Amino acid sequence: MELTVTPAKPVIDSISEDTVYDKSEAAEPLKVTATVSDAGTLSYQWYFTESQDGTPKKIEGETSETLYLDQGQTGYYQVKVTNNDANGNSDTAVSVKSDLIKIEFGDYVARIGNKAYATLNEAVENANSGDTVYLIKDAELQQNITINKNLVLEGKGNTLKRTEASKNSAMITLSGAKVKIHQMTLDGGAVWTGNVNDILNRGTSNSGIAANGAIVRIMGGELELLDGTSLQNNVNQKEYAEAGGAVCVEDGSTLKLNGGKIVNNHTSKYGGAVIAFHSASVVLINGQVAGNSAGTSGAAFCMDHNSTITMKVSEGETEGAVIENNRTPGSGGAIWLANGKAELQGGTIRNNYAVSDGSAVFMSGSGTVNLGSTYVVSNRSAIRVANGTLNLTGPIRMNDMISLARGKMMNIKTSSYGTETSKIPVWIEGYTSAGAKFANADTKEQAQAATEVLYISNGTLPVYSVGTEVFYGNPTNIQITKNLPEEHTIMTGKELILTVEAEISPAEAGNLVYTWYQAQDKEGNGAVVIAENQGAQGNILKLGDCSEGECYFYCEISVDNGKADPVRTNVTKVIVEKFVPAKKAIEKFTAIK
């Protein structure tokens, strides 16, 4: 008797879905996975029909789990999965066919998953929060885009370019959304012509589009520019509310540069690359900001109101973002800062030019600049402290000039200077031959270290420190010409008179102040002030009617204007006895004999 075994029916576990492609795209291959519950062997056969109602025809030779598609071929595909028995007997085979898979090619710009759209705007409107929207080919922007959901815009190396139809506002506006852009170029349509500027490395005339908006306007939310992303060639004629050559960051919003570029943009007034206001935030981690220009101030960044800008490097990185080759006829070549904060803790600021002042940073308002490890080099008059607070937090990596407005100080909070730092010039407005203090340090060591790298560029006077204060001018020196004796003996009831003499140079540097102390031991421990005198008799200490015992005294000599470190005399031991001991006189006589 012959036994016939029927193989198990195959189960299709997964298969490619319907997909729409632009005709310029290469389609992804179709894939199927199937399983069977017995020991049978699976085989595959792919079929094709041009219409949904047509009969699929066998595609000769396509007998694997994967089918590579012909470019531009619209139609329907099907796969038959067959399970033969363990002995390979085809007459007992069991098969199952998939549903039809629609592959469509057409004229599309964007895609979400397997669905394509004629415009990027249409794709954004149909996206769900968290989706990735793909720009699948170069496209022209005919209608400005508003994004109010969290998205990733994936450009795949393609460009979205502004047209005359989209020139009257920002190309893309974020409204309470977090958006990341990767491998996409957003081009504002400017065409740079004319003589090439040696800072910008481009022409300064525009024969292309002049817009009335930035490339991206962030009205609540966050924009992150990732690798391969470029915001470029935009001319923004708006003067403030929607200013910024490439990005306008408003009302607590955030811009992150994490591998992208902002290049070759211009604004008629403020922020050739970016304007930020009303407590907005800009974070530069990696990437480039270059070739941007502003008509008034902030060739690269205009940080208005309480907005903050941070330059830092991600863990394991060393280079960070670069702000370079930006130019303005006004102030702030790289950064113009009002009342917010600039945390410069990584990256590079180089070769920026502000014709007025502050080619790296111009401090206009009450803001704070914390200059750390950002490399500042080849900027004319790099940091201008017109107002606000400049803190050197270190390690300092710069040789460019620091310019201090009249009466302004800087704060030194480090003694660490990188190998790139040799000397840092400081330009003092109101420089005087009498010298003056221009910096405060947290420690004496930091102040001393500063004197080794800082020098005054608009004068010849040296830089020196007194305690935690840093001055320019001729340093004041105090020299003790008559010190206190190591030991002094008097009889009880007599007046104690101690005298010290000192000189100050230069003689007109100030008045000497003598502060007398009584201590508990010869080392000067436990000292308390017993007299402070200034003038001709200040160098003399008189104490009447001394009691029997031992006392310790010393004098500290300083200058009334604080321009020299105090100096201290010997600690003298004063012995008060009831009478001059005869025993000592006899011993002395015996020794001579």
pLDDT tens for residues 383-396?
A: 999 999 999 998 99
pLDDT at 586 over 60: no
pLDDT at 118 over 60: yes
Q: What is the mean pLDDT of residues 474-481?
A: 92
Burial degree of 216 (CB within 10 A; 0-12, 13-18, 19+): buried
* 76-80, 174-178, 430-434, range with the lowest pLDDT: 430-434
Say how far apart CA 35 and CA 10 lie, in whole Å: 6
Burial degree of 210 (CB within 10 A; 0-12, 13-18, 19+): middle
Domain ranges of the chain: 11-106, 155-431, 477-577
Helix, strand and coil percent figures for the chain, each rounded to 5: 5, 50, 45
pLDDT for residue 86:
59
Per-residue HEC secondary structure of 107-134 comes to: CCCEEECCEEECCHHHHHHHCCCCCEEE
Q: What is the mean pLDDT of residues 235-241?
A: 91
DSSP line for 491-560: ETTSPEEEE-EEEEESGGG--EEEEEEEESSTT-TT-EEEEEEESTTTTEEEE-SPPSEEEEEEEEEEET
Tell me the two tokens of residue 15. Answer: 């298969």
* 104-108, 312-316, 363-367, 373-377, range with the lowest pLDDT: 312-316
Pure H helices in 405-493: 444-451
Say how far apart CA 304 and CA 318 lie, in whole Å: 29
Higher per-residue pLDDT: 381 or 560: 560
CATH of domain 11-106: 2.60.40.10
pLDDT for residue 588:
47
Tell me the two tokens of residue 548. Answer: 């029997």
Pairing of strands 66-67, 30-35: antiparallel
- Cβ atoms of 330 and 301 closer than 8 Å: no
Q: Which residues pair with 363 in a beta bridge?
A: 337, 385
pLDDT for residue 522:
95
Say how far apart CA 555 and CA 540 lie, in whole Å: 10
Please report which helix (H) or strand (E) contains residue 353, including its range: strand 353-354
- Cβ atoms of 29 and 67 closer than 8 Å: yes
449 secondary structure, DSSP code = H
pLDDT for residue 381:
80
Closest by alpha carbon to 254, among 278, 226, 289, 234? 278
pLDDT at 578 over 80: yes
CATH of domain 477-577: 2.60.40.10
| Cα within 13 Å of Cα(504), Cβ side | 23
pLDDT at 202 over 80: yes
Q: How confident is the model at residue 589 (pLDDT cuts 50, 70, 90)?
A: very low
* 177-191, 210-224, 453-467, 532-546, range with the lowest pLDDT: 532-546
pLDDT at 304 over 50: yes
| Cα within 13 Å of Cα(558), Cβ side | 13
pLDDT at 593 over 60: no
- Cβ atoms of 323 and 352 closer than 8 Å: yes
Say how far apart CA 370 and CA 377 lie, in whole Å: 17
pLDDT at 1 over 50: no
Tens of pLDDT, residues 492-510: 988 999 999 999 988 888 8
Ramachandran assignment for 142, one of left (phi > 0), alpha (psi -120 to 50 degrees), beta (any other): alpha
pLDDT at 433 over 80: yes
pLDDT for residue 88:
55
Query: What count of other Cβ atoms lies within 10 Å of the Cβ of residue 589?
Result: 9
Q: What is the mean pLDDT of residues 148-173?
A: 98
pLDDT for residue 89:
60
Tens of pLDDT, residues 330-356: 999 999 999 999 999 999 999 999 999
Indicate the SS3 state at residue 92.
Answer: helix
Say how far apart CA 89 and CA 83 lie, in whole Å: 10
Say how far apart CA 86 and CA 215 lie, in whole Å: 64
Say how far apart CA 586 and CA 566 lie, in whole Å: 43
Indicate the SS3 state at residue 425.
Answer: strand
pLDDT for residue 546:
79
Distances from the Cα of 37 to the Cαs of 14, 44, 403, in angstroms? 16, 17, 81
pLDDT for residue 219:
97
- Angle (CA) 371-377-378 rounded to 5° is 140
* 81-90, 224-233, 244-253, 549-558, range with the lowest pLDDT: 81-90
Q: How confident is the model at residue 49 (pLDDT cuts 50, 70, 90)?
A: very high
Say how far apart CA 368 and CA 348 lie, in whole Å: 19
Tens of pLDDT, residues 268-282: 999 999 999 999 999
Tell me the two tokens of residue 64. Answer: 């694997």
Q: Which residues pair with 233 in a beta bridge?
A: none
Instruction: Assess whether the region 11-106 and the region 477-577 belong to the same CATH fold.
Output: yes
Q: How confident is the model at residue 287 (pLDDT cuts 50, 70, 90)?
A: very high
| % of the chain beyond a pLDDT of 90 | 83
pLDDT at 417 over 90: yes
pLDDT at 553 over 50: yes
Quote the mean pLDDT of the chain. Answer: 93
Q: How confident is the model at residue 581 (pLDDT cuts 50, 70, 90)?
A: low
